[in-house]
Amino acid sequence: MLFNVPGPIVDTGRQTEQRPSLWKYRYLLVLLSLLGILVVYQLAVILLLRKSFVLSTSPFQGTTLINPYQNWKGDGQEKISLHAHSDEVWFTPERHTVDEIQSEYKREGFSNIAITDYGQISERENSGFIRGFEWGQNLKKRHLLTIGIKKSFYDYFPVYATRENLNWVMDRMKKLGGYVIIPHPKLFDSFSREEMSSIGGFQAVEVYSPFGDDPKILDTLLSQGRNVHCMASDDLHYFPEASIKHFDQPTWKNIIQTLGNQRGRKGESFLRYIVTAEGMKDQTSVLASLESGSFYCVKKFFQGAEDPKVPKVQVTKKNTIQLNSKERYLEIRFIGQMGEVLQVNPDTNNAEYTFKETDSYVRLEMIALTGSILSNAIYRNNN
């Protein structure tokens, strides 16, 4: 008689219950793999894309005084805006068009404007159009702004960048013909004074910004013998309601702006800008003014106010700074090493200050009735 040996009991119901958990592990494995790839990639670019700069740590020295305004010509002035964002980036379709931005700024008396979208350059046939873009997508808002650059490039540091990595980015911007600016350093404390003192490659700092004004940042850098310029920008993202209601916007854009609370804002448009000499308004001449520091930074106190007039600044053979303006200022300040106020002239449209042997640089601040004006530094040089 043959014995019938039963096979193992299979719990099919239990197997069915285990399958979903196996899929969960597979999804988790895929997620961890992608995270690992991102970590390896980020570490690789951090180690490979680096640059070091030899930075000055001593004050300006020399017998020659460099005055960026010495060749300032004409009695007029050109208002230039160098930091505005449009709807041309795929993730900001609700913003304003380039034509709308240019039209509004022109109506407010601006001679030219740069569209500086995130990661890309707006292309226009107009030869005088100012090219630029803003680099950086990280959460800490450690962005870099560049003007006049020939082409944009990818942000290789989406999570983290060391100071040497930032140096590499700025060096690449300059090699592509860009003038490099540190924008909104006080936003989330993205760039501390100590950090700006440790990195190189930038030529200006946005000391007048909707996210915080701090001209004293300049003195930290100038006192180290670094000829860093001021910058004043609206950092435009949205116009106030008074402007938007005149635009012929599609319904979907109106809905997104309303849901995103972009409608009805007072806005920061038309308040912060630079002023170049008369006729210096196309990209080529604006870049030349930026490179030499031959421009002023202006912050108006309220919208609709008259533009404060910038002065003419000359340096005589006896090393005396002479300031003359068509506007009578509430106060003129001469500022030197480490932000020391060297002289104050109240209620006047002209002033003089003679360089002392202890002065390494002098910059000027003019407080007018409707706004404040910053000059770039007049500094010592051996050449």
- Taking only the tens place, the pLDDT of each residue in 248-287 is 999 999 999 989 888 877 678 999 999 999 999 999 999 9
Q: Domains of the chain by range and CATH?
A: 64-381 (3.20.20.140)
Could you give the 3-state DSSP secondary structure of residue 249?
coil
145 φ/ψ angles, rounded to the nearest 5 degrees: -110, 135
Longest dimension (CA), the chain: 128
Nearest Cα to Cα of residue 205 among 154, 136, 216:
216
Q: What is the pLDDT of residue 37?
A: 81
308 contacts 332 by C-beta, under 8 angstroms: no
Q: What is the pLDDT of residue 29?
A: 83
Show the low-confidence residues of the chain (pLDDT under 70). 1-24, 139, 266
**Radius of gyration for the alpha carbons in the chain, expressed in angstroms and rounded:** 27
Q: What is the pLDDT of residue 73?
A: 85
Q: Which residues of 207-223 are buried (b: 16+ CB within 10 A; e: fewer)?
A: bbbbeebebebbbbbbb
185 contacts 205 by C-beta, under 8 angstroms: yes
3-state helix, strand, coil split of the chain in percent (to 5) is 25, 25, 50
Give first-to-last CA distance, the chain, whole Å. 115
Q: What is the pLDDT of residue 2?
A: 46
343 contacts 356 by C-beta, under 8 angstroms: no
pTM: 0.91
Helices assigned H by DSSP within the chain: 12-48, 98-107, 163-175, 193-196, 216-222, 241-244, 251-259, 283-292
Q: What is the pLDDT of residue 225?
A: 97
Q: What is the pLDDT of residue 36?
A: 84
